[in-house]
Structure 1
Amino acid sequence: MDYGHPIRFGTFLAPVAADPQRPVRLAQLSEQLGYDLATFQDHPYQPAFLDTWTLMSYVAAATSTIEVAPNVLNLPMRPAPVTAQAAASLDLLSGGRFSLGLGAGGFWDAMEAMGAKRLTPGEAVDALAEGIELIRELWDTDSRVRVRGGVHYSVDGAKRGPAPAHRVPIWVGAYKPRMLRLTGRLADGWLPSLAYMKPGDLQAGNARIDDSATAAGRRPDEVVRLLNISGRESAEELTALALEDGMSTFIVGNDDPRLLESFAAEIIPQVRGVVASARSQRGTSAPGRPTAALTARRPGIAYDEIPSSLREGAVEPGDFEYRSVRSNYLRGGAPGLVLRPHTIAEVSDAVGFARNHADLPLGVRSGGHGISGRSTNDGGIVIDLRALADIEVLDEASRRVRIGPGARWTEVSRALEPHGWALSSGDHGGVGVGGLGTAGGVGFLGREHGLTIDRLVAADVVLADGSVVRASATENAELFWALRGAGGNVGIAVSLEFEAVPVRDIGWVQLAFDASDTAGFVRGFADAMRAAPRDVTLFVILAPSRSGQPPIAQVYGVVDSDDPDVILERLQPFAALAPLVGQSVQLASYADVMANASDAAHSGQGEPAFRSGLIGPIDDAAAEAIAALVRSRSSLWFQLRAVGGAIADVPSGDTAYAFRDAELSVTAIGRGSTFDRLWDQLAAHFDGLYLSFESRTDPALLVQAFPPATLARLREVKRQYDPEGLFRDNFAVGTATAAEDEAA
């Protein structure tokens, strides 16, 4: 029986304390010789041995590619909850290079002398089974179900996490029937030693594991078969063990570096070559996804038809990586499939696959921060562009740069900093280039240099039919027009070219005001912002009063100057708006300002509840409406962003982002009848809507986001480039008829 697993080789090293660096050197040699893993004995009661966990940690730091594992860990002496955290930590620190071999314990006199509770053989097996299930549960940080204790581990209410970097396999060292059945039911691998096996034991062990796996609803090939060997076996013996007995990982238990070298040079290539040839002749295929992963698949998706170019990186609901790609920054998602292309051609393949599933939701994700939440969905397909993240300077003289949609603005700002350049790019470094660079881009340099889309000069776009076209002022000009403000409707920008602007160190401003007179503060801020030179772009967050404290206005943003006197002069009108309760003004690079985002995977939950509007000069009525909303405490977060200055220099018809006369962008989070009523009163003062800050999906919002002429033009572009409406899940403009457009 050949289960089809990859043929791998490892070393089984003794953690001798007499020469503590010897096992480290042997692990490094194993890596140099091309072994796949280095494993270590674990006998905590043996004073002649190093502590295995400490040694594995040291070895992981002293190597870079080889996998590290205990062979096998004495679980009764290393309680499962602690082992779970330690294993996940070592996997994270090593970049996903850890595997966990476990045993039920055997030398009970020595173990009891070290403080372990003596268990009967049956209790030890039960404790190991409970420990394996508990370890996996503690690693499952995506679950919201409370951890429950068992017979051997009283852990009710234990906190989950951390999650490891990859799906850490759990192997079991097993020989007797109950342990073999446990292995088939729960483990990812069987790890016996050939020296302990009698003729027929491997076959009998495989049969018990296979029967147990089948009874548990698993395929037998979900259990990898590993084998500790002496290293003196011939290539023919090992080939037979692979092709006839299903063993696929051979671990050499010998500390002689000469034997390790000769084995790597002579035996490993022979075994791999013969097994590969035999499998080719037999038509043996590698095991597929585990049964549990297959049962998690969502209906309506032809998973078996995923293009070969995308199959390796595709993430399904049952995969370990799913937890890190299912959601975005604010919205919890449950897509049926996440495709992760690495090239433009693969993006075309992904679009083709999505086109064959046109009835399903389709999300396109660059950074995954977008507060509208449209880069994930429930049961549909997500095309994740994070791997397309190259940043390239095309021309120094014109400051022209090409950026992949998956790059994040903190990365872009760092790449441009050595050149003394920047691109106005929102206020959060974790935002992806593709989303912001095609929707608008209201950023800290906006009043001086315009929106992010105003610096876009060309883009390569994958269309709904999978073709790739170039869009610029002279190539597919209508597509380029639509791309700047409604890009999610017309295609996927897979490469964006911008002309950066020269930026020195800047004044990074953070001020806090007592905003008891909220309406007066809002009017004053709007007036001061309108009168300020264009090198000043400030935002304000208004927080309602709490516990008898006055409401606070947090003003933050940029003065584009490296002269402290100029910066302070620019801020004087703002400092006079209300009593200051906090202030910080410092010189910083633009890259430092944008370095405000974590690289941690997004883990949003629920649905975001953002509302958005664009407003011109704020009069008394609008200021009072804002104050009423803030005072009501029905809004958890309320923000004003300056959008005047250079943004208004661009004629409204030049881009799909049309409301160029607005002075402030308004954003709020809130739910409930009070919030809805007060927001509607405020919205009566709006003249436009920025869809990237809007989480509602009501099609009626389109007429607020695009003036009639703009919407009609967008629909004509939509008819030309996406007539079937593939890209419809990010505020689709639709393909209304000319008569309908005229009526609108």
Structure 2
Amino acid sequence: MEIGRSAFTDLPVSDTTAARRTPELFEEVAPADEAGRPGTPSSRPLRSAEVRARRRAGIAYDEVPEDLAGTVVEPGDVGFAKVRSTYLRGGDPGLVLRPGSVPEVVSALAFARRHRHVPLGVRSGGHGISGRSTNDGGLVIDVGRLDEITVLDESARLVRIGPGARWRDVATALQPYGWALSSGDYGGVGVGGLATAGGIGFLNREHGLTIDHLRAVEMVLADGAVVRASETENSELFWGVRGAGANLGIAVAFEFVVDEVDEVGWAQLSFQVSDPAAYLEAFGRVAMAAPRETTPFLILGNGVAHMMAMVGSADPDVIIDQLQPFAEIAPLVQQQVVIAPYAAVMNMFPESPHNGRGEPVSRSALVHKITPAFAAASADLINSGAAYWYQIRTVGGAVSDVAADATAYAHRDANFSLTAMGVNAQRLDRWFEPVRRQSDGLYLSFESDRSPERITDAFPPATLRRLRRLKAQVDPHNLFQDNFNITPSTSRSVS
């Protein structure tokens, strides 16, 4: 069955401003000192007794540093509903700190060090599936205001990006230059989380992970030190940031070398699927044989499969030729294929506020090949109804060109990344465990199970040992632990 050429149309690109700054929640208050006495200029808002009554125990609200006081959000504030939760997880933090500069990030971490007894979450975009960038009664350091996007060297395609920028805005800013940076599958995600975890996106088979384009990162460490890491400066930290950055500090700026990317082919295809296991095996064979210019993502349900794929070409014949083998796996019931700028794909979904509820239940697996055993276990999971979301992302290609020990993201031989989501953790685990037994690791960005075993699944033994030694150097007291925590090694030497 051939994909109709008439489906190719132009997809408009949003003219959203590339680099936005979030309006300040509070305006400057009339001069007063911390006790409310007139005569001392201060940016601290005056909060009513009703608002102060909603403060959480154990947090010294009146000791928030002066440079942060005007933008913090407390539980009783009007703006709290917009910052309490993440994309999937409901939260009720005791205080959200919103630094707008590197010195303010240093101040925020100093405040956090004085509050080690409460949880600490760090947030860029708040879209992380694990939901660890919010908590109950603790602190959240939200770097969303650090959202600048700057071209440092046009000839070298070197771009500086703040952790709070959203990938939709990055794509829009790069489009006039004919550039793009592989950045997940949804433009509303913040740069900071993706750029420190890996970055599996629609360009990765051709251009590699997001972290493979990183040339330098500026970070604030647990002790407040501001450092720059690259291949020649703090190289061990630079290695660790690319895959385990959430454990090592707060990134305040990234420098990327981006790719020249013209218009791309963008396809959304739906199939009738009577046998999920057989379909998965066939999809796996076709995907591994596909040219690396094509990166398909698959969402498989009971009786239907939906595939989204990007082809790194603006030639209709090339796009059709590379998609045709996928169209022949099962009856095609719906299709949309367009030629569009990468920025159009990143802007296709509207921005929406994060209003998560409860705890997300998500499981992840990386596999080298979709074997009959993996496909059968996956089909059982899908048919059980325990997972309302089953997605396979293709990896491999350029991702596998990088040596396994070059970055903390070590599973370079994986060709597929699976995410399964459910409502009940016990029920999902019952059906997911047979799938996990067929896997070769996991990608932490799509995992919500915080069992210690998940750390060993995510990082091979040599990688984990090296990360623990690095952790002992940059965060010996384990300030950054309310995530998938890598505990510091007792040995301080790093090989």
Alignment of 1:390-401 (within 5 A): 390-401=148-159
For each residue in 1:151-177, what CA deviation from the matched residue of structure 2 results, as whole angstroms up to 9, or x when unmatched?
xxxxxxxxxxxxxx989xxxxxxxxxx
Matched with 1:560 is 312
Shift of 1:597: 4.0
For each residue in 1:224-282, what CA deviation from the matched residue of structure 2 results, as whole angstroms up to 9, or x when unmatched?
xxxxxxxxxxxxxxxxxxxxxxxx9xxxxxxxxxxxxxxxxxxxxxxx9xxxxx9549x
Q: Report if the CA contact (8 A) 2:45-2:70 is conserved.
A: no
Cα distance in 2 for residues equivalent to 1:390 and 1:286: 26
Matched with 1:309 is 67
Residues 1:713 and 2:466 aligned together: yes
SS of 1:402 mapped into structure 2: strand
Q: Report if the CA contact (8 A) 1:440-1:453 is conserved.
A: yes
Gaps of 5+ in 2: 1-21, 32-36
Matched with 1:646 is 398
Matched with 2:147 is 389
SS of 1:346 mapped into structure 2: helix
2:331 to 546, 559, 579: 579
Matched with 2:352 is 600
Cα distance in 2 for residues equivalent to 1:453 and 1:513: 33
For each residue in 1:320-358, what CA deviation from the matched residue of structure 2 results, as whole angstroms up to 9, or x when unmatched?
010000001110000000000010110011011101111
- Letter of the 2:183 counterpart: S
Shift of 1:287: 7.6
- Letter of the 2:274 counterpart: S
Matched with 1:446 is 204
Q: Report if the CA contact (8 A) 1:325-1:601 is conserved.
A: no
SS of 1:554 mapped into structure 2: strand
Matched with 2:104 is 346
| Distance of aligned partners of 1:339 and 1:589 in 2 relative to their CA distance in 1, 3 Å threshold | same
Cα distance in 2 for residues equivalent to 1:372 and 1:673: 17
Matched with 1:665 is 417
Q: Report if the CA contact (8 A) 2:380-2:431 is conserved.
A: yes
Matched with 1:461 is 219
Cα distance in 2 for residues equivalent to 1:346 and 1:287: 17
| Distance of aligned partners of 1:688 and 1:295 in 2 relative to their CA distance in 1, 3 Å threshold | same
| Distance of aligned partners of 1:673 and 1:337 in 2 relative to their CA distance in 1, 3 Å threshold | closer
| Distance of aligned partners of 1:576 and 1:462 in 2 relative to their CA distance in 1, 3 Å threshold | same
1:699 to 441, 452, 468: 452
1:516 to 238, 255, 274: 274
Q: Report if the CA contact (8 A) 2:472-2:490 is conserved.
A: no
2:183 to 425, 430, 437: 425
TM-score (normalizing by structure 2): 0.90
Matched with 2:171 is 413
Matched with 1:590 is 342
Mean CA deviation greater in 284-293 or 487-496? 284-293
Shift of 1:737: 3.1
Residues 1:629 and 2:381 aligned together: yes
Cα distance in 2 for residues equivalent to 1:402 and 1:287: 33
Q: Report if the CA contact (8 A) 1:409-1:430 is conserved.
A: yes
Matched with 1:434 is 192
Cα distance in 2 for residues equivalent to 1:522 and 1:375: 34
- Letter of the 2:339 counterpart: L
- Letter of the 1:701 counterpart: R
Shift of 1:285: 12
Q: Report if the CA contact (8 A) 2:221-2:250 is conserved.
A: yes
Residues 1:722 and 2:475 aligned together: yes
SS of 1:610 mapped into structure 2: strand
Residues 1:356 and 2:108 aligned together: no
SS of 1:411 mapped into structure 2: helix
Matched with 2:48 is 290
Q: Report if the CA contact (8 A) 2:44-2:69 is conserved.
A: no
Cα distance in 2 for residues equivalent to 1:618 and 1:511: 20
Matched with 1:128 is none
Cα distance in 2 for residues equivalent to 1:284 and 1:570: 62
1:734 to 472, 482, 487: 487
Shift of 1:447: 0.3
For each residue in 1:210-235, what CA deviation from the matched residue of structure 2 results, as whole angstroms up to 9, or x when unmatched?
xxxxxxxxxxxxxxxxxxxxxxxxxx
| Distance of aligned partners of 1:280 and 1:416 in 2 relative to their CA distance in 1, 3 Å threshold | same
For each residue in 1:598-619, what CA deviation from the matched residue of structure 2 results, as whole angstroms up to 9, or x when unmatched?
3332111111101001011111
Shift of 1:520: 1.1
| Distance of aligned partners of 1:715 and 1:639 in 2 relative to their CA distance in 1, 3 Å threshold | same
Matched with 1:539 is 297
State the aligned residue count: 465
- Letter of the 2:55 counterpart: R
Cα distance in 2 for residues equivalent to 1:664 and 1:325: 33
1:528 to 267, 286, 307: 286
Matched with 1:380 is 138
SS of 1:613 mapped into structure 2: strand
- Letter of the 2:394 counterpart: A
SS of 1:612 mapped into structure 2: strand
Matched with 1:686 is 439
Higher relative contact order (CA 8 A, sep 6+): 2
Mean CA deviation greater in 635-644 or 588-597? 588-597
Shift of 1:286: 8.7
| Distance of aligned partners of 1:284 and 1:658 in 2 relative to their CA distance in 1, 3 Å threshold | closer
Cα distance in 1 for residues equivalent to 2:374 and 2:102: 47
Question: By percentage of residues, which structure has more helix?
Answer: 1
2:235 to 473, 477, 500: 477
For each residue in 1:587-640, what CA deviation from the matched residue of structure 2 results, as whole angstroms up to 9, or x when unmatched?
011000001343332111111101001011111111111111111121110000
Cα distance in 1 for residues equivalent to 2:279 and 2:176: 39
Alignment of 1:235-250 (within 5 A): none
Cα distance in 1 for residues equivalent to 2:38 and 2:103: 31
Gaps of 5+ in 1: 1-94, 97-164, 168-247, 249-271, 273-277, 545-550
The share of aligned pairs that are identical, in percent, is 55
- Letter of the 2:247 counterpart: N
| Distance of aligned partners of 1:286 and 1:458 in 2 relative to their CA distance in 1, 3 Å threshold | closer
SS of 1:333 mapped into structure 2: coil
SS of 2:383 mapped into structure 1: helix
Shift of 1:738: 4.8
Cα distance in 2 for residues equivalent to 1:381 and 1:704: 29
Cα distance in 1 for residues equivalent to 2:194 and 2:156: 22
TM-score (normalizing by structure 1): 0.61
Residues 1:492 and 2:250 aligned together: yes
| Distance of aligned partners of 1:280 and 1:359 in 2 relative to their CA distance in 1, 3 Å threshold | closer
Cα distance in 2 for residues equivalent to 1:414 and 1:631: 40
- Letter of the 2:348 counterpart: N
Q: Report if the CA contact (8 A) 1:430-1:596 is conserved.
A: no
Q: Report if the CA contact (8 A) 1:410-1:597 is conserved.
A: no
Q: Report if the CA contact (8 A) 1:402-1:498 is conserved.
A: yes
Cα distance in 2 for residues equivalent to 1:413 and 1:443: 13
For each residue in 1:687-741, what CA deviation from the matched residue of structure 2 results, as whole angstroms up to 9, or x when unmatched?
11100100111122110000000000000100000000001112111013359x9
| Distance of aligned partners of 1:506 and 1:286 in 2 relative to their CA distance in 1, 3 Å threshold | closer
